[in-house]
Structure 1
Amino acid sequence: MSKPASPRKPRIVLSRTDHDILLNFSETLERSHPESARFLSDELIRAAVVEDAAVPADAVRPGSSVTYRIEDGESKTIRLVYPANANIDAGDVSILSPVGIALLGLRPNQTMPWRDVSGKQRTLLVVAVTNGDEPFVNSGSRK
């Protein structure tokens, strides 16, 4: 019996600075959370890395506020932060969490397959991204 095909992952874009920082985190994460480290490494390998000023304004990156929906569930808004600033009660989610890694580099209307903390395969949809003061919302088809 063959393994079911993995859902296709969307194109993602990361700044050179974020890519370098996250690459260091993935090496550190390898010792304590090898599965998350592999997921992060895979995302870093497939990302288009651009100069910091060339990152699309609506791309998810550390510091972004992101509204997303998992499958047909409720929308949830979080702020993506580095681990030292994570505070789930305040909605500040670590970039190294499974959902944080899945959101990395996405833009509104993109979907991403990922495994939640229980290991269940899920799909999330980015509804809106705010970087700075300007919100970007799901306004068209972009995969």
Structure 2
Amino acid sequence: MKTHSQTPRKPPIVIGDTDYRRLNKLALAAADRLPEISDALLLELERARVASDSSVPEKVVRMGSAVEYKTDAGAQRIVTLVFPEDADISEGKISILTPSALPFSACPRVKQWAGPRETTASTSSRCWQ
């Protein structure tokens, strides 16, 4: 008997129209320099539901959100997701074009944690706007 393994579905994405426009422009501009990251970002944007900035749920990670996560080695980190021009690793600000940052852009799989505007991307990550 043949068994089929199911590929987990990606969670839905909700994005504000301002971030959508800026990220789309950024991904297109980065296509020649960073084709894999550009393609991944464009694919995520393509499947996103674009909403007015004011109607994006607070639990959704957006640009400028702080995200706490656990590395594969078990170390905890807190980073803020920013556009490339605002990136500063010494301040914990990572560019959306950093390969490790892209998964945080799809954080609408989050559920509300205790405290205002605090969310989680998985059992090992927390995200704040």
| SS of equivalent residue, structure 1 residue 21 | helix
How much has 1:15 moved relative to structure 2? 0.3
**TM-score normalised according to structure 1 size:** 0.71
How far apart, in 2, do the equivalents of 1:10 and 1:71 lie? 22
Aligned equivalent of 1:43: 44
- Once the two structures are superposed, the pairs formed by residues 62-77 of structure 1 within 5 Å of their partners are 62-71=63-72, 73-77=74-78
SS state of the match for residue 59, structure 2? coil
- Pair 1:98–1:49, CA change in 2 (3 A): same
Residue of structure 1 in register with 2:104 after alignment: 103
Equivalent pairs, count: 115
Identity of aligned residues (%): 32
Mapped to 1, the partners of 2:124 and 2:52 lie a distance apart of: 23
Any gaps of 5 or more consecutive residues in structure 2?
111-118
Shift of 1:19: 0.4
Contact 2:11 2:106 in 1 (8 A): no
- Give the structure 2 partner of residue 15 of structure 1: 16
Find the counterpart in structure 2 of residue 127 from structure 1. Answer: 125
RMSD of the alignment, in Å?
Answer: 2.1
Query: Between Structure 1 and Structure 2, which shows a larger proportion of strand residues?
Result: 1
Gaps of 5+ in 1: 112-124, 132-143
Deviation of 1:110 after TM superposition, in Å, equals: 3.2
Structure 1 residue 53: deviation in Å?
A: 0.6
Q: Does the CA-based 8 Å contact 2:94-2:101 persist in structure 1? A: yes
Q: For 2:128 and 2:22, locate their aligned partners in 1 and report how far apart those are by CA, in whole Å.
A: 21
Structure 1 stretches of 4+ moved >6 Å: none
Deviations 1:96-130 (A, max 9, x none): 1112221014133435xxxxxxxxxxxxx663222
Greater C-alpha radius of gyration: 2
Moved more, 53-62 or 20-29: 53-62
The equivalent residue for 1:52 is 53
Pairwise CA distance, 1:74: 2.6
Pick which of 63-72 and 11-20 moved more.
Answer: 63-72
Deviation of 1:68 (Å)? 1.8
Q: Per the alignment, do residues 8 and 71 of structure 1 end up closer, same or farther by CA in structure 2, a change over 3 Å counting? A: farther
